[in-house]
Structures are given as C-alpha cells and as structure tokens.
Structure 1
Amino acid sequence: MRAFFEGIEDLFVNGLFWPYDVLRGMDNWWLANSVSWIFVVIGMVAMVYWLRQLRIFDANGEEDYTISSHSYL
C-alpha cells in the first residue's frame, strides 16, 4: 500500500502540479498569481449571474415568502 500512495504523491507532485512550480518561480507577481485571478473572475461572473437569476424569479413572483414555505419548518 505504501508504494500505491507514493505513486499518487509522485503523480501530483511531479506531474500535475508542475505548472504551479513554474508560476511560483516567476519574478512577476501578476503572472505568478494568474491562476488565482482567473478563479476570482470566474467567481465574480458566477455571482453576477446568480444574482440576476434571483432578480428574475423575484420579479415573476415565483418565490414563496410564507413562514412555513419548507416542510421541515
């Protein structure tokens, strides 16, 4: 079993995470953190989309505002 887990470790450390090692060695802070910025932008776009969808459902009156809107309450 030890060899199995060491194989998984080798796959991730030496294989899948090598782009992050390259990014970590860069002198430019903006390029080194580009993956983080991409995730921040994706999260902001998803939040704007979600809020727009909530506004659409609220404008259509489809939301149930009663106190016991859920069966477990």
Structure 2
Amino acid sequence: MYRTSLTEPTPQARQAGNELLVDRCDELVAVWDGLPARGFGGTADAVAYARRTNTPVTVLWPEGASR
C-alpha cells in the first residue's frame, strides 16, 4: 500500500494513484474505449501518463463492450 497526502477521493487523488501504479509497473494494460477522459484521473489520464513516461501500454476493449 502506498499513501499520499491526499485524503479525499478527488480527481487529483485518482491521478496520484494512476501515477503510483504506472511508476511501479513494467507495462500498463488498460481496459479502455480510447475516448477522451470525462474527468481528471480516469483511465485516459493513466494511459496518457504512461505514454509520457515511456511505459509500454496495451489497450484492451472487448468487442461488443459499451461504456
């Protein structure tokens, strides 16, 4: 478990969690429809952060899935 100084479930806290995850993985596997974020700290932001930090990204979106 990793803790940040963020104590409320805010978009900034979600993004901090995204960054902690990406910084500690060899590859990010994201189940994502490829659409822009509907708010800060979601899957699109995790994928964008991984790409900015040159972490390999594999995006999966099952056929027939809907958001």
Q: With structure 1 as the length reference, what TM-score do the two structures score?
A: 0.29
Work out which of the two has the higher radius of gyration on C-alpha atoms and give 1 or 2.
1
Instruction: For CA contacts below 8 A with separation 6 or more, give which structure has more relative contact order.
Output: 2
Higher helix share: 1
